[in-house]
Amino acid sequence: MKKIVWGFALIMCASCGNNTPKPAEQDAENTEVTTSGDENTITLNSDDRMMFDRKEIRVKAGKKVTLTLKHIGKMPKNAMGHNFVLLKKGTDISSFGIKAMTASDNQYIPKESDEVIAHTDLIGGGESSTITFDAPEIGEYDFICSFPGHYAMMKGKFIVE
Ligand code: ZN
């Protein structure tokens, strides 16, 4: 069946003088890839300058979120460690950050805390960490890096819509 269709298409092209059916077909394929790409798949980069490359992340409610944190710097994690910590609404970033400082044995995630929705591993230069979690309810949340002292610079808004 496919061969017949192809043959027909070639004859059509030959007869109409349009000899470039390929680009149109490739465009169609590319469009398909783009639209089927999951908008809840997020890549967040961090670096040796104590920065995230995004101040805002938007995801759709009611779906899983797959987030990959990459450390594109070179410094080791004991000097320039980064994580992504998504905090529940109403969490005070400063007081959470201070609590997190004492949790060096738990990747700077306070063990007793119920303020964390999701978090990645703590990573150093050249590493990455991927997590999957259910998008929380529609609203605006804070995300930070909970490595000591980083939350002042490394924070942003996680918006569920
Ligand atoms: Zn950090």
Q: With 90 as the cut, is the pLDDT of residue 64 above it?
A: yes
68 or 26, higher pLDDT? 68
Centre of ligand 1 to C-alpha 148, Å, is 8
Q: With 70 as the cut, is the pLDDT of residue 36 above it?
A: no
* Site of tokens 């980064």: 82
Centre of ligand 1 to C-alpha 39, Å, is 25
For ligand 1, an ion, list residues with CB under 5 A.
Answer: 82, 145, 147, 150, 154
> What's the whole-number mean pLDDT along residues 63-83?
98
Centre of ligand 1 to C-alpha 84, Å, is 8
> What's the whole-number mean pLDDT along residues 51-57?
98
Two structure tokens written together for 145: 């890096």
Sign (positive or negative) of CA dihedral 114, 115, 119, 125: negative
Centre of ligand 1 to C-alpha 51, Å, is 7
pLDDT for residue 122: 98
- Residues 96, 87: Cα–Cα separation, whole Å: 9
Q: With 90 as the cut, is the pLDDT of residue 80 above it?
A: yes
For residue 112, name the pLDDT band (cuts at 50, 70, 90).
Answer: confident
Centre of ligand 1 to C-alpha 43, Å, is 16
pLDDT for residue 113: 86
Centre of ligand 1 to C-alpha 115, Å, is 18
pLDDT for residue 38: 80
Average pLDDT, rounded, for the chain: 85
78 or 24, higher pLDDT? 78
pLDDT for residue 37: 54
- Residues 38, 125: Cα–Cα separation, whole Å: 27
Sheet with 64-71, edge to edge strand ranges? 41-46, 64-71, 128-134
